[in-house]
Amino acid sequence: MADGITMTSPALNTLIADLGRVGPQAYTRTTAIVERAVLEAKNRMVSDAESSEHFAIASTISYDSDFRPNQIRFVLGPDRARHRKARIANIAYFGGRNGGGGTLDINAGIDQAAPGMVNALAAMAAELL
H helix runs in 1-129, sequence order: 10-20, 24-50, 89-94, 108-128
Residue 112: the pLDDT is 95
Mean of pLDDT values over 111-128: 92
Residues ≥6 apart with Cβ < 8 Å to 16: 27, 30, 70, 71, 72
Asked whether the predicted pLDDT for residue 21 surpasses 80, the reply is no
For the chain, domain boundaries: 10-128
Residue range 46-72, pLDDT digits in tens: 999 999 988 899 999 999 998 877 788
- The pTM assigned to this predicted structure is 0.79
- Distance CA(76)–CA(13), nearest Å, equals 18
H helix runs in 3-88, sequence order: 10-20, 24-50
